[in-house]
Structure 1
Amino acid sequence: MPTPTGRSHAVLHPSRARQRIEVGRSGPDAGLADLVDYFWWVRWDVPEPHEQEVVPRPVVHVSAEVLADGPRLVVTGVHQRMFSRRLVGQGHTVAAGFRPAGFRPLLRGDVGALQDREVRAVEVLGVDDRPVAEEVLACERPEDGAEVLGRWLAALPREDDPLVGRLADLVERAEQDPALVRAGQLADLAGVSLRTLQRWFRSHVGIGPKWVVQRFRLLDAVAAAHGEDDVDWAGLAARLGYADQSHLVRAFTQLVGHPPAAYAREA
């Protein structure tokens, strides 16, 4: 299996989270690796309700959860702002995190229509999700539940689309290269106009390229805040493409709710 990726520092207040939740990951089988980046699961046993915040990436997730009408598969589109989940009592969830643009072949439609939404899988895939959600959550080991979910996803009809791999590679490069700070740089790498790239991103990734670049650079700032060393925020702002430290502070505070230095002390 490929090594699961994703960004662990997207989970805010990690030391607090480790005291309350257990998180695991695994990679997809080869037949699904072109669409799914990794499987993940969370277990919790909290005497008091716990609010867990996560910085969203340009990724669609399909998760098995217990809702008011029982176990269901939920499709979560790209969220522009902070994503928060309230955990109560005991429970667990198992999910697939898709590669950027990777959900498009299964959706066979505009991924941008899922932006800031959580919907039952049956509503967008047209397949009853109850039986597989029940089977996934009934597994004693979450790794086994991830395998069940993977087999179900692999059996779904998919639409061939040459843009999917191209855009997934482009977004993943933007995530890994802190020197990419503008959407125009991505358009140059893709060899298309910015307008064309914007149209591709909205229909396949689910959000625009400017948001994608800015989110990854903010995640770089979050990663720095989670580190053990004192951070030169002015120097980091320059490296991440911000006009000055105050611009980074405003963007970070708007997303996380605290200025970066204050968050670093708390985190």
Structure 2
Amino acid sequence: MIPKASKPSLGIMNLQQGEQKFQLSRHTPSEDLAYFIRHYWIVRWDLTGQEPYLQHVIPNPCVNLLVEPGRTAIYGPGKEKYGHYLQDQGCVFGVKFKPGGFYPFIREPISGLLNNPMSIQSIFGIDPRQLETDVFAQNEEHLMVSHIEQLIRPKLPEQDEQVAFINQIIDHINQKPDLTKVDTLCDYFNVNKRTLQRLFDHYVGVSPKWVIKLARIQNAAEATDLSQRHNWSKLSMDLGYHDQSHFIKDFKSIIGQTPDEYARLTV
């Protein structure tokens, strides 16, 4: 059995350690936006007089609208972990769209956003510097959320049934940590493999094979965070790997370290 966290890390590596450096809150979207948006997230920190802290995050199959001084933009899914330096005082506001949930806003393949952030002005018609000023002028988090929702709501597209279908598929992947093959997924949902791959390219931006791999590695990273003793052979079997070396290779391709190296950092 893979141990479960008391609350999901949602890809934040070493969350228990990180929470000593920053405060993370998540907010549920209004009902009319919830079809497209998973949640809003806000990170605050005050490291005045302390060393900067590098927080790593495992990529996810979601588009994020990020509001941060000098970096405000719309970011597609990544394929490797990424780091964010926290120093002095600061705050970041994020809109995490559901997998596939941003595609109806642009009707262009989300794969085009890979390593290619999109300007918010082209979609929502507001200068990013102005949005930063407006959001961070709010003194309550619910007011930040309200301001962002007022920005998104006029641009809200019609609901696309493919978004719901994609989320059913990804929920299934996340609930089956030993799921290993796209073919198994296609059989379960009765969908042609090429059709599924094309659907994911357009709506999600990454392949179903990558989403399966990512879910397994995120499970592995969370299990490593939660345990003081590590049995890589057993963990790899729990995740459906036939051999430990394949598990280690996949883990390093996303995390950038072997499981053993990662475990030493969590101590």
Tell me the amino acid that sits aligned with residue 172 of structure 2: R
Map 1:104-143 → 2, pairs under 5 A: 104-123=103-122, 125=123, 127-130=125-128, 131-143=130-142
Paired with 1:42 and 1:185, the residues of 2 have a C-alpha distance of 38
Aligned partners of 1:64 and 1:137 also within 8 Å? no
Paired with 1:239 and 1:195, the residues of 2 have a C-alpha distance of 28
Could you list the structure 1 runs, at least 4 aligned residues long, displaced by more than 4 angstroms after superposition. none
Aligned partners of 2:251 and 2:259 also within 8 Å? yes
Deviation string, structure 1 residues 193-242 (Cα, Å, up to 9, x no partner): 11110000000011110000000000010111011352332122122122
Aligned partners of 1:73 and 1:129 also within 8 Å? no
Q: Which structure would you say has the larger RCO, counting Cα contacts within 8 Å and 6 or more residues apart? A: 2
Map 1:1-267 → 2, pairs under 5 A: 7-8=8-9, 10-46=11-47, 47-67=50-70, 73-123=72-122, 125=123, 127-130=125-128, 131-228=130-227, 230-267=229-266
After superposition, the Cα gap between the structure-2 partners of 1:9 and 1:231, relative to the gap in structure 1 and judged at 3 Å, is farther
Tell me the amino acid that sits aligned with residue 139 of structure 2: E
Higher strand share: 1
Following TM superposition, by how much is the alpha carbon of 1:45 offset from its aligned partner in structure 2, in angstroms? 1.9
SS in 2 for 1:31: coil
Paired with 2:157 and 2:132, the residues of 1 have a C-alpha distance of 20
Paired with 2:243 and 2:142, the residues of 1 have a C-alpha distance of 44
Paired with 1:175 and 1:136, the residues of 2 have a C-alpha distance of 33
Aligned partners of 2:124 and 2:152 also within 8 Å? no
Aligned partners of 2:80 and 2:253 also within 8 Å? no
Q: Which residue of 1 aligns with 2:3?
A: none
Following TM superposition, by how much is the alpha carbon of 1:15 offset from its aligned partner in structure 2, in angstroms? 3.6
Give the TM-score, by structure 2 length. Answer: 0.88
Following TM superposition, by how much is the alpha carbon of 1:120 offset from its aligned partner in structure 2, in angstroms? 2.3
Number of equivalenced pairs: 257
Give the TM-score, by structure 1 length. Answer: 0.88
Provide structure 1 residue ranges, at least 5 long, that are not aligned to the other structure.
1-5
Aligned partners of 1:102 and 1:168 also within 8 Å? no
Provide structure 2 residue ranges, at least 5 long, that are not aligned to the other structure.
1-6
Instruction: State the Cα RMSD in Å.
Output: 2.0
Aligned partners of 2:124 and 2:155 also within 8 Å? no
Sequence identity (%): 28
